[in-house]
Structure 1
Amino acid sequence: VAGETLITPKGTLGLRGPMVTIAAYAPPAPAGDSSVPAPPPRDYVDTEYAARLDRTTGTLFITAPPSGIMAVGGYRFLAQDLQEWARRLGQGALLTALPDRLSGYRLAGRAQDNARAREALAELGLNPLMVEAFRDRPNASN
């Protein structure tokens, strides 16, 4: 067995087993002079993905991504990273994730000069989904 799934006490997806690197995801230890005892080590990694178990079938369902993470197709973006890239593009720029039925979210961007924003993001080698978020859209009123 390479791994096992479980529902954590927080109602999130947990993973454990020989192929799961628990130490890499362990919560930070309290400060050395802390009078609070360290919690016992966990034997699983909490993915922070909300999940539920169908008790009749034994099927585990992922119900929501971790807070602050936007899933766009197979890619994951941190909301704070999107905001930071928009800020770097200049005053009034916006890069956000909008709900999408097929892919979870889709990226949408606006800048004073969308073409220049696309060029700048492409030159930096950023994800093409971020670059194309600034594509020119046809006017809906035509």
Structure 2
Amino acid sequence: MGLFDALLGNAGEMDRDEAHEELSTILGNGEQIELAYKLIRDMIVLTNRRLILIDKQGMTGKKIEYRSIPYKSVTMFTVETTGHFDLDAELKIWVSGQSDPMELEFSGKTNVYAMQSLLAEKVAGK
């Protein structure tokens, strides 16, 4: 992920080993990270069991909110790829009990097809 993408607010792919090291304290037994994305300090992680949104807050980033969404709670999602003039990809996720979707933006270099494929498998089944 480049500095330009980070400044624009676009998440880029992250190394799974680095993500696993950072999240080892909150992962369950046998839970494996399948995809991870990073936006400056925040992270978006798809595991074999759930979607985790990590929001590091404050000046130091010591206060952290971990939003855990079981795949069974995802009612719908959309993936929008990049275009000629729109350089970022977008993911919208609707979660049961919420009327508005969560909106996440990714850099144009991010493989949104891999993310879409994994979400489809987890949400709709194999």
Q: Which of the five TM-score ranges fits, normalised by the shorter chain?
A: under 0.3
Higher relative contact order (CA 8 A, sep 6+): 2
TM-score normalised by length of structure 1 = 0.23
TM-score normalised by length of structure 2 = 0.25
